[in-house]
Structures are given as structure tokens and as C-alpha cells.
Structure 1
Amino acid sequence: MQSFRTELENPVVPQEIIDLEKNIRAYREGQIVEDKFKSLRLARGIYGQRQPGVQMVRIKIPFGKLTFKQLLKIADVSDEYASSNLHFTTRQDIQIHYVSLDRTPELWAKLSEDDITIREACSNTVRNVTASCIAGIDPKEPFDVAPYAQGFFKYFLGNPVSMELGRKFKFGFSSSEEDTALSFIHDIGFIPKVKYENGEEIRGFKVVLGGSLGAQPYIGQSVSEFMHEDLIIPFSESVVRVFGIYGERANRNKARLKFLLNKVGFDEFVKMAAEEQIANKVKSYKIDRNTVQEPIPPTPEVVNVEIPADRQLAYEQWRATNIFEQKQAGYYGVFIKAKTGDMSTDTARKLVASVSHLIADDMRVTMNQGLLLKYARQDNLPELFLALDTLGLTEPGHDSVADVTTCPGTDTCNLGISNSMELSRVLESVIYEEYIDFIHNKEIKIKISGCMNSCGQHGIAHIGFHGSSMKVNGKIMPTVQVLLGGGAVGNGEGRAADKVIKVPSKRAPQVLRTVLDDYSNKEADYKSFLDYYDSLGKDYFYQLLKPLADQSTVVDDEYIDWGQDSEFIRAIGVGECAGVIIDLVAALLVDSQEKLHYADLSLKAEAYADGIYHTYTSFINSAKALLLDKQVHSSTQIGIIKDFDTHFVETGEFDLGQKSFADVVLQMSKNEPTAEFAHAYFAQAKQFLEQTKSQREAVVVK
């Protein structure tokens, strides 16, 4: 393993990368237990694959913005450390696979040279901040939301309130009321709004709270129809803080924000968040609108090229489905469909080399797993088409029925039940070969996940599939759960899809044909696909598809999953994407000491809010350690506080000077983050940790 120089010797390498190397070494030497180490690496974007001994590394690309240089750097890193492939995700990240754990610090250091991070890309953290890929060039946008997404990325990255939550937390910004970033599936989603007072434009956002997918989709609810732009970060911080204190931490299946909202009630949660704002780092936060500026358009010479006769139809389809006119007059946005979200590093390099003179140096990873190129001139579109066509990047039908969203499934994911990647390729082929007119239909979305967890967003699909299995004739068969009727409605409203029927995986193409044939025959009678579904009702579609679920007609090939050549085996590993639960006393006490160290550094830097939150976490970890010695398992931080009072303070076993533990710890939520309070709170936590260690030593001696 490479040894890194200190920050003073090499300022490019941040301390956290050096710390990762030290932690890997300590783990290899048995000084850090497995569960603790999982937590450390996941928070740094390093995720265990289905294949033993290798890692997936998730690279955080805020709102999908990439320069040519950054794309080339990621390609270089994938060649050197991974499998020479780039996988674009639905959260605008880029994932690379088959990485050796020992080389991840070196990999991260190389990415950081071009301002690319993997920090907090996985685990129980604030994840990548997404935004409509067309933000800044969207003809329908009231203003560009990209600077706001960038502001959120910078504010929450490395922020103590967002680094160790009970579960992941997601922000998303749509560019207009069309809600192309799907605000309603985010923990907090934003839609830009403008109002006028005395002739002055006032910017704000409709704010949607509590959305998420998973096995139980929850459509977010509006918490504000117009929140001033300077208040969205303070509001969001207070929501994250309340989620951290009161959210579930033991049962990961109940640990998303939506479950806390259901538990305490939506209105009560909003009230709790408002009360928590006193402890916020900021009460108002002005995001710099110039943080993200539209790039300088290119000025290429016009090259007169002729589209070959055999590619003329392809060019026309590409122009009709993958190109749109930007709000900047004379310029066009160009979408690239990346099949299953994958692009080889060789293709990525050739892409930059062949089109960089024709587009602006500002690409965007799209939420449907492709790329957006910006500022192409109309006269250069033929040349651009031919350059992309040579690379196989002109497949038509961006964001149409033919643009199927998919997760990696059993290719690399521990939780995958079925091969969603190959199924998506098969279904796209069905569209291109049998239903070519549907490449123009941008309403119907087909989405596939390899399991019920909805990483492929099947839970909000118009036509969705998720991997499953069933026993038929004594053997395990790969199946898909068919879902219908989901989708975005607009302006922060959405619909969860209905589970309709389960069929053998090999019959999924016939499910698609049956639905599209029926819709094609009836389309003239309905305003939209969702109107068609609602009017006919769920049972109609159950009866329509019921013959495809008939087990008496199963043939041998249907026991074999897509892309496989042997009978299906349902092999599911332990998922890591939501982090792990660590209940080890010694590790907790080490964590408490470490949090006090971070708190001390923050106080010395006069970052009092950060110092207070680190101090709070030290209190919680110390208390949890002693509770575990009594076999008391609390599933929330507020539960730890209450249980410590019950089992230690009220029994007289732990003396807090006539105060309850709640009185001491929850001062954090009742005080402004002043220097005076921060230092006093820190001193109390330091004393509490020493008492905890003494108590622990006494227990061990006994």
C-alpha cells in the first residue's frame, strides 16, 4: 500500500485520505473490527461488491456537473484501479467497480487533484445532491437551480450534522414545475418559484418533505409553497438535526425520514424542526448565485458534412428525440443514451476528443443514466451526430419508453435477486424492434430494479419490474413483480406504482408487449397513460396479465435468469448501502474520544456549531457504551438519552449533580451556538467521558 506524505508536503492530499489509509492498515492488522471498518469505508464511498475481495467506488458528482478534464480523470482512474468502465447512476454519480480496498486512498487522492470526491457517497450520510440536468438551459425554468444544488453540496459535505445519521438522506432540485428531478422521492425536494413585491423579483422554492422509494415508496408532502431562497439551508439543517436525534438507528428497514414522519406526525415533525433551528449554524444563508455559471459557448467552424443515406433516418430520429432547444437562443442541448448507464473509458476519451470543440465544457450526468452535452450550434449538429455515431452514441429515444432505467442488479450488488441489467437491454430491444414509434413517447417510463429496494426506481414507474423469485415444481424460478401506474405528476406531486402481478422473468417482454398493445388500441380514448391506467383500474390489468403468470405452462428455460446459462440460484448477500449498525462498547468509547478531538479542533477554529454537534455525538456514544454493558439496546438517539436516565441516573448509579442526562445533552437544541456555550458543553462532555470510562473499568474489573 502506498504511504502518503503529510498535507504540508503534499497539500493536494487531504487529511481524510491519509486517515483512510491508516484505517485500512489498522483493519488489516486487526485493530479495527469489521463492522466499525465498514462504517468508515462506506462513508468514503467504498462499497462491498457481490464479488468477494473487491469494492465498488461511488464518485460524488454534485448535480451531475462534469468538465472534460474531470471525465478524463475518472476514466484514467477506472483504467488504473477498476474495470475500465464508468457506470452513470440515477443520482448523477459515477460508479467504478472491481477496486482493491488497499488502493482506494491512492485512487481518492488522484481524483481530488481535479476537485472530485468520494466522501459521503454511501452510508448513513447526506448523499449526492441531485438537480435537473437541464438546469441553466431549461426554457421553462424561472431561474437556474444549479448554484443552489452546489451550495447544498458544499454546506453539508463534511458537516457533523450529516455525517452519521440513522440512514441516508437525499436532496433534489428540479428546474421547473415539470419536476424532472423528481422532488417527491427526496427527503427534501425543491421546485423553484418566483414572486414579485413592489416590482422586485423574489426567489424561493416549493419544498417537499419526506419522500423516498425503497420497498415502501412514500410520496413527499408539501411543507411550503414558497420558502425564501435564504431559508432553505437553515430549514434543511434543522430537519437533518431532528432526523439525527429522533430517527431509527437499529432497524434499517424503518430508518428513513418517512418512518419518523409517520411516527410523530407530519405537523409535529415540522414543529420540532422549527424549534431545532435555534441550534443551527445559520439562521439565514445566502447562496451565491454565481457559484455555478453557464460556460462560454464554443465557436467552432461550420464543417459542411453530409449524412450518409443509410444513416439519414437515424439522424432524423436522433434530432427528433435527443435534441432540444436551450433557453439561450441559437444553442441546443444534446442527450446521449448510455445503455444500462455504462460507458467504457475508451469511449469516454474518444467522446471528449471528438466533440469538445463542438460543445461547452460543462456536461451533466442525467438522472436516467446518460449524459447531456450543452451549447451545440444548429449548424454543427450534423458534424456532432457523425462524431457521436462513430462511437455508437446516437441511439434515439432519450427519456422515452425506450430509455429504461435500471440498477446493477446481480451484476455487482449484494442485494440483487435478478439480472436487471440484461432485462433492461432485452426490453429496450423490444421497443426498437417492434414499437419504434414509442421512441417519441416521453410520458411512459419503464424502470427496473434487481430487488424490491427500488434503486432502479421501479416504485414510481409507469411500467415497472423488480426482481423476485418463487418456487415452481420444487425449483426456484426467477420472477419479476410487475408494477403499473406510477410517475411524476408535476409541481412536486407524484404517484407510487401499484403492484399488479408476479410473472416469470423470462415473460417480462411479453408483459411489456401486452400492455403496450392494449394501450395502443385504446390510447385515443384517454388523455395519458396514467388516465388509461386509472380509468380501467388495477384489476383490469391483473386480469390482462394473468395468463402470463400461469405456472402450468412453465418451460425449462424459465428457470434460468436473463444473461445466465444455468438454473437460477437465489443468492443474496448483506446490503451495505445504508451503512451498518455498530454496537461494540470499546469502539463506541474510541468514537467518543475521537468526536471530542474533532470538537476541540472545531472550537479552536471558532466553528462553534460544528464543535457543539461533535460534542453531542460524544455524549451519545459514551452513554450508549454503558447501556450496552447492561444489554440495553436503544434504537434512536433520543431513546439512548431516555434509557440512560432510566438505567443510570434515576438509579443513582451515575451522578450528574441533580441533573438528568436529558437536561445536560439536549442543551444543544436549546442554545444558540455561541463560543461560551460551546466551550461549556465541551467541558461537560469531556468530564462525562471520563466518568463513563471509570464506570466501564469498574464493570470490567468485577
Structure 2
Amino acid sequence: MKSFRTEIENPIVEKDILELDRKIQLFKEGKIDEERFRSLRLARGVYGQRQFGVQMIRIKLPYGKVTSEQLYRIAAVSDEYSRGRLHITTRQDIQIHHVSLDRTPELWAQLEKDDITLREACGNAVRNITASETAGIDRAEPFDVSPYADATFKFFLRNPICQEMGRKFKMSFSGTDDDTAISFIHDLGFIAKIKTENGVAKKGFKVLLGGGLGSQPRHADVIYDFLEEDILIPTIEGVLRIFDRFGERSKRAKARLKFLVKDIGVAAFLELVADEIQTLEFQTVQIDTAAFEQPITFQELGIPAVKIANEDAFQKWKETNVIKQKQEGLFAIGIKVHLGDFYTPKARLLADLVKKYAANEIRLTLRQNILIRHIREELIPFFYVELKKLGFANAGYNSTADITACPGTDTCNLGISSSTGIAVVLEKVLEEEYPYYLNNREIAIKISGCMNACGQHNMAHIGFQGMSIKAGNLQVPALQVLIGGGILGDGKGRFSDKLVKVPSKRGPDALRILLNDIEQNQQKEETFLAYYDRQGKIYFYDLLKGLSDTTNLVPSDFIDWGHSENYVKAIGVGECAGVVIDLIATLLFESEEKITSAEEALKENQFSDSIYYAYTAFVNTAKALLIAEDIKTNTQAGIITSFQEHFVASNKIKLAGSFEDLVYQMKDENPTEAFAKKYLMDATLFYKQIDAHRKSTVSYV
């Protein structure tokens, strides 16, 4: 096995990277099965690509904050290990494509030198914590949500309760009632609120639970109108523990939190959470906001002289791309990043600008753009000139002409038809035929290459979903057209209605028909959504249905956007959720690892973590025996009940009491050192008993 040096000072991070390197070698030697290895690499941000033999690396950037040093580092890594292209996602991450699996540990080690992680960027874990990109500068915000998003990210990174859940878990923090972080589509969404009691203003959050997109979108439920800031972290931990214990694990399509909440009801779910919070080590967690309240400083105080060549273009850009901050005399500049893709030479030059003339920080946005913060008013012309040199001064930031699209068939295994290809064409239609939409923020257009909605198409005003349709014996790339979704504010939103499937090459005509109709028939000051509701779904279906006719196809209809040959539908194995079917031997091996992790946490006086590692060892061990008997293991709670019924009650396995009482000690005991030691010993003895039983009855395959 090759040796590998990380040169990382943080021992926890170094161990994580070395473990990935070791598991890659074991996988190549055939000592770890493919499914288990997939789960492990996904939890470390390494995602299989549509192209054979290369990986997509997802870099986890909480609430989209990036310093110039971090941007330099990401650019260097992309040049060294990939092709110099950076892709901004709708979760404020950056993705790097076409990376060799062997080199992923080295890549990760390089990123960590500037405090950048891959950990839990993919897989069944807490994904990147998103937030309003204007958090901290928004004139309407009650307070800056950035430190709360930051604290949530740090508290749950590598936290044992959310390492191997049934599915991914997404959270967002919105700074104002405009809800720009889209709380209603998240597993947990938070909107900043101030509540005044007896003349004292308190910070807190409106909390939404159980939202999601995908093939079955669900609007999140409001569970608290006001949750005080110091119980934010315990509430999240309680929700995660209940999801981990009761969430579906066998049926991928039903494994998200939204299905659990729907099945048992919000009230019953919150009762479980309330009981769980009582068992936590910390009932309250104070969040330190001091680091986000420091004075804004600038490296360069001079004002470089510039000449504006086209004053009209400059003024149009200012109208659409420049935002006044709550800090007196400071502004933010939005950069419209075409499809979220930009390249390392531009990234470095942008980092130079931000470091010297702003406050050394950008925020990546949920619409795949970049927001530069803290720019003095007198520097706005200079930034325009410099950004124009980089191709970053296109007007229309966050406008209708600023289309959101996932990578689709470019790199994703699940892509059905090209999302980036049609996005390019639609943006061109808007630019050339409807230029006034550069200043329109009322209509958002979003595109996904499949039903999983990474491009958030099914909550857009106008959405397109990649599909295929049959024409004789041939497949035609197609788009499902959706209309009527959007953010309503303060936690309210709506999902789009599916209207009609059209060949992809007719996508531009679909957009033209919709925009022309709106211009002709929309009443003065009537919003797009109000107009859609007034006319109704059938009206818009009738407008578009002629485009769905497949009896008059021409040869070009069989070729997808951005391609030169006839379309072939090719869908691989999706890894968005990282769901795996565990083998018995792998489960028992995992139990050993959990027990080791519990021992290490105990040595570090992390008693709550140790207890949870021991708990998962109990569950994994019991699950191994249940799988051997072909007994359902859909949820952790079900595993515990089924093991008692099938093995303990039948005396196949002899315990001093019931298995439920043995495992659920963690719910009744405080997370003290004494209990952590006892619980770990119980888990260890149980594992040894089950391992011995298994070896005496069945041979491993």
C-alpha cells in the first residue's frame, strides 16, 4: 500500500483524509465491497461522474462564504487535479469535475490548508448549510444569520448522529421575510425574527420542517413561529436524532424526512423531538457572534482612476447588479455567472480584486452567482471596469435572464436531457428578443436535467425538467414545462404545475409563447403568479399543447442541445442520496469501527458523542443478524423492536433484559462519563456476543 503524507496540522482532519486514502486502497484490492465504499467516499465529497473513471469533487462552503485565500486555493487545486473549471451549485458549493479517485485524498489535503472541507458534501449526511447571500449586509434583516449558519455547520460536521442517515438532510437560514434561502423546500428552514418581551428584544427564528423538492415536492410545515437562538442547536440535534432513528432506510424513494413527517404527523414528530432534547448533553447552546461583528477593513485605501467607455452600459449594470448595504457608504456587487461555471484564471484575478479593494470575502449564491461585499461607493466604477475585463460585468444579476440550471447530462449520471444546453439557448432568446427582462426579478426560470430538481425547476415561476419521449423506435430529448411556482415570503411558497412535454428543440418556442402571452394579456401591476392563477392551468396548457405534437418532427429534433449526434437516453446509477444495501459482514465491521470511535470520543471527554457511537454499534450489530434472517430493517426503531421480537423473545439470543431497554438506556440517562463508559461496555459485549453467534451458525460469504 502506498504511503501518503497530508501535512495537515489538525489531527482529526488528517485522520479523516488518511482514512479515505486507506479505504481507496482497500477497495482497489477488493477488500471493501463497492456499495460500502460508495457510501464512504460520498460522505467525503467524492461523487461518481457520468464519465467512466473520474469523480466529481464537491467542496463544502457553508453559507457560500469564500475568502480570497480560499478562492486561490480552490483554483490551484482545480488546475492541479482537474481542468481548471469551477462550478457553483444551487447549494452554494463549488464542484470540480474529472478528478482521478486516487488523487482525491491529496486534493482534500491541499484544500484543508485554507480550512476548506469536502466532508459530508455528499451522501446521507447534513449537507451544506445555505443562507441568504446578503446576510450581514441586508438593510431589511433583523440580524445577521451568518454566525448561526456557521455554528450549525461546525456543530454537526463529523457529528456521530448524522454520518449514516437514511438520506441527506438540508438546512437553510433566511435573513429576512423575503425568504431568499427558500426555507419551505428544506428539511429544516430558519427565518430570522426578533421578538420583544417586556421591552427586551430577543433573537430567534421561525422554523419550518419537512420540506423538499424531487419527484414529490412537499411544502415544509411551520413548527415554531419563534424559536429562541440558544435552543437552535439542541432543536436541530433532536430532529436529526429522530430522523436517524425512525427514518426509512430500505426504500430510497421514501427515505427523506418529509415522508416521515407526513407518515406520523407533525405533532407526533415534535413530541418525539421534545423527549429527545431532554436526553441531550446541552439543553441550550449559546452562539458566539463576535467574529461576525468586527469592523470592516480594507487593504488598499486608494481610488484607482478609470474611464467608463460606455456610460449607458455602466448605468444599466448599476441598476441590476449593485446593491446598497446596511453599512453606510458600502455596496455589494452581484456577478452573473453563466450557468455557474467559471475558470481558474478569472477566479485568481477576482480573488486579487476582493483582497485588495473589498473586504476579502465573496458569497456564492443559490442562483449560482457571486456576490462581492463591502465595496466603497467611490470604487464602483473601478470594479465595473475590472469585472468587465473578466467578462463578469453582464447586467441582469438575479433577473429573469439569469437562468439557473444543474449540470444535467454534461456530468451527472441521472441526467436525462441537456439542461445546460437549453439554458444557453434560452438566455440567448432573452438577451436578443426580450432585453427588458434583464431588469425583471418577478419571473425566475430554472432547469433540471431530471426529476431530482437540483436546478429547483419545480418551485420556479417557469421551470423545465429534462425528459425523453418516444417517436416510433427512436427517443427524442424532451422538456417538461412547469409554471406557477415561487417564493411568497415568510416561509410560504408554491410549487409549479406540470403542463406539457415538448421536444427539447421546441423549448425556446415554449418560452416565447409564454412571454408573448404575458405581455399581451397581463393586467397593469398584476404579478406573474396572479396572472397565472387568473388564467388557470388549462389556459396555459392550451397555449403550449401544439408544441407537444410528435407527428411533425424534423431530424434536428432527435439531437439534443449541445450535441451533434442523435440522442440516446442513458441514465446511470444516481448517487445523490448515497443509499446503499449493506452486507452482513460490512455491518459487523462497521460496528467495530463505531465501538472504536466511541472509545476515542470517551478519551476526549466527548461523552454524548461516545454514547451515540455506541448506540449506532448496537443498531448495526442487530441489523446484521436481522438481514441474515431476511427480516425488514427499514428504520432504526424498527430494527430494535424486531431484534427483540425475533431473537431475544425467542431465546435465540440471551440478554439480561429486553434489547429495547438495553439500547434505550441512552434516552433515560444523562450523558455522564460514568454512563458513557457503561453504555460502551454494554455495546462491546453485545457486539462480541452477536459476532460469536453469527460465526457459530452461518459462514460468511
TM-score computed with the length of structure 2 as normaliser = 0.97
In structure 2, C-alpha distance between the alignment counterparts of 1:677 and 1:265, rounded to whole Å: 33
In structure 1, C-alpha distance between the alignment counterparts of 2:608 and 2:10, rounded to whole Å: 29
User: Any residues of structure 2 matched to 1:204-603 within 5 Å, and which?
Assistant: 204-293=204-293, 296-298=296-298, 300-308=301-309, 311-354=310-353, 356-525=355-524, 527-603=526-602
Q: What one-letter code is carried by the residue in structure 1 that aligns with 2:351?
A: V
* Further displaced range: 166-175 or 375-384: 375-384
Tell me what 1:185 maps to: 185
> Deviations 1:351-383 (Å, cap 9, x if unpaired)?
223454321111101111011101112221111
Tell me what 2:201 maps to: 201
* Further displaced range: 346-355 or 112-121: 346-355
In structure 1, C-alpha distance between the alignment counterparts of 2:502 and 2:113, rounded to whole Å: 49
In structure 2, C-alpha distance between the alignment counterparts of 1:631 and 1:96, rounded to whole Å: 40
In structure 2, C-alpha distance between the alignment counterparts of 1:201 and 1:631, rounded to whole Å: 56
> Deviations 1:561-606 (Å, cap 9, x if unpaired)?
1101111111000001201323201111110011000001111211
In structure 1, C-alpha distance between the alignment counterparts of 2:355 and 2:648, rounded to whole Å: 66
In structure 1, the gaps of 5 or more residues are: none
Q: CA deviation at 1:637?
A: 1.0
Q: What one-letter code is carried by the residue in structure 1 that aligns with 2:89?
A: T
Q: Would the alpha carbon gap of residues 28 and 234 (structure 1) be closer, same or farther in structure 2, given more than 3 Å must change?
A: same
Q: CA deviation at 1:525?
A: 4.4
Tell me what 2:681 maps to: 683
Tell me what 2:97 maps to: 97
* Further displaced range: 676-685 or 527-536: 676-685
Note if contact 1:136-1:146 (Cα within 8 Å) is conserved in structure 2.
yes
Note if contact 2:400-2:445 (Cα within 8 Å) is conserved in structure 1.
yes
Q: CA deviation at 1:553?
A: 2.2
Q: What one-letter code is carried by the residue in structure 1 that aligns with 2:488?
A: V
SS of the residue 2:305 aligns to? coil
* Further displaced range: 638-647 or 483-492: 638-647
Q: What one-letter code is carried by the residue in structure 2 that aligns with 1:577?
A: C
Q: What one-letter code is carried by the residue in structure 2 that aligns with 1:620?
A: V
SS of the residue 2:551 aligns to? helix
Q: What one-letter code is carried by the residue in structure 2 that aligns with 1:637?
A: Q
* Further displaced range: 6-15 or 631-640: 6-15
Q: What one-letter code is carried by the residue in structure 2 that aligns with 1:105?
A: P
Q: CA deviation at 1:226?
A: 0.5
Q: Would the alpha carbon gap of residues 650 and 10 (structure 1) be closer, same or farther in structure 2, given more than 3 Å must change?
A: closer
Q: What one-letter code is carried by the residue in structure 2 that aligns with 1:671?
A: E
* Further displaced range: 11-20 or 688-697: 11-20
Q: What one-letter code is carried by the residue in structure 1 that aligns with 2:634?
A: S
Q: CA deviation at 1:32?
A: 0.9
Tell me what 1:660 maps to: 658
Tell me what 2:614 maps to: 615
In structure 2, C-alpha distance between the alignment counterparts of 1:129 and 1:217, rounded to whole Å: 20
User: Any residues of structure 2 matched to 1:146-161 within 5 Å, and which?
Assistant: 146-161=146-161
Q: CA deviation at 1:672?
A: 2.1
Note if contact 1:48-1:56 (Cα within 8 Å) is conserved in structure 2.
yes
How many percent of aligned residue pairs carry the same amino acid? 50
Q: CA deviation at 1:219?
A: 1.0
Note if contact 1:526-1:532 (Cα within 8 Å) is conserved in structure 2.
no
In structure 1, C-alpha distance between the alignment counterparts of 2:451 and 2:10, rounded to whole Å: 45
| Deviation >6 Å, runs of 4+ | 6-10
Q: CA deviation at 1:291?
A: 3.5
Note if contact 1:241-1:276 (Cα within 8 Å) is conserved in structure 2.
yes
Note if contact 1:463-1:483 (Cα within 8 Å) is conserved in structure 2.
yes
In structure 2, C-alpha distance between the alignment counterparts of 1:358 and 1:692, rounded to whole Å: 63
> Deviations 1:433-453 (Å, cap 9, x if unpaired)?
111111111121100000011
In structure 2, C-alpha distance between the alignment counterparts of 1:12 and 1:631, rounded to whole Å: 38
In structure 2, C-alpha distance between the alignment counterparts of 1:480 and 1:91, rounded to whole Å: 23
User: Any residues of structure 2 matched to 1:3-82 within 5 Å, and which?
Assistant: 3-5=3-5, 14-82=14-82
Kindly tell me the number of residue pairs found equivalent between the two proteins.
Answer: 699
Q: What one-letter code is carried by the residue in structure 1 that aligns with 2:304?
A: V
In structure 2, C-alpha distance between the alignment counterparts of 1:406 and 1:649, rounded to whole Å: 53
In structure 1, C-alpha distance between the alignment counterparts of 2:511 and 2:685, rounded to whole Å: 64
In structure 2, the gaps of 5 or more residues are: none
> Deviations 1:63-96 (Å, cap 9, x if unpaired)?
0111001001000000000120110011000000
Q: Would the alpha carbon gap of residues 293 and 48 (structure 1) be closer, same or farther in structure 2, given more than 3 Å must change?
A: farther
Tell me what 1:696 maps to: 694
Q: Would the alpha carbon gap of residues 662 and 150 (structure 1) be closer, same or farther in structure 2, given more than 3 Å must change?
A: same
In structure 1, C-alpha distance between the alignment counterparts of 2:477 and 2:206, rounded to whole Å: 42
Aligned-residue Cα RMSD (Å) equals: 1.6
Note if contact 1:297-1:375 (Cα within 8 Å) is conserved in structure 2.
no
* Further displaced range: 356-365 or 324-333: 356-365
In structure 1, C-alpha distance between the alignment counterparts of 2:10 and 2:152, rounded to whole Å: 28
Q: What one-letter code is carried by the residue in structure 1 that aligns with 2:246?
A: Y
In structure 1, C-alpha distance between the alignment counterparts of 2:361 and 2:632, rounded to whole Å: 49
Q: What one-letter code is carried by the residue in structure 1 that aligns with 2:53?
A: G
Q: What one-letter code is carried by the residue in structure 1 that aligns with 2:318?
A: R
In structure 2, C-alpha distance between the alignment counterparts of 1:341 and 1:8, rounded to whole Å: 30
Q: Would the alpha carbon gap of residues 429 and 677 (structure 1) be closer, same or farther in structure 2, given more than 3 Å must change?
A: same
Note if contact 1:171-1:189 (Cα within 8 Å) is conserved in structure 2.
yes
SS of the residue 2:328 aligns to? coil
Corresponding position: 1:143 with 2:143: yes
Q: What one-letter code is carried by the residue in structure 1 that aligns with 2:537?
A: K
Note if contact 2:189-2:209 (Cα within 8 Å) is conserved in structure 1.
yes
Q: Would the alpha carbon gap of residues 452 and 9 (structure 1) be closer, same or farther in structure 2, given more than 3 Å must change?
A: closer
Q: Would the alpha carbon gap of residues 295 and 37 (structure 1) be closer, same or farther in structure 2, given more than 3 Å must change?
A: farther
Q: CA deviation at 1:11?
A: 5.8
Q: Would the alpha carbon gap of residues 7 and 390 (structure 1) be closer, same or farther in structure 2, given more than 3 Å must change?
A: closer
Note if contact 1:136-1:294 (Cα within 8 Å) is conserved in structure 2.
no
In structure 2, C-alpha distance between the alignment counterparts of 1:329 and 1:559, rounded to whole Å: 56
Note if contact 2:68-2:354 (Cα within 8 Å) is conserved in structure 1.
no
Q: CA deviation at 1:549?
A: 1.0
Note if contact 2:8-2:109 (Cα within 8 Å) is conserved in structure 1.
no
> Deviations 1:675-700 (Å, cap 9, x if unpaired)?
22222211111111011011101112
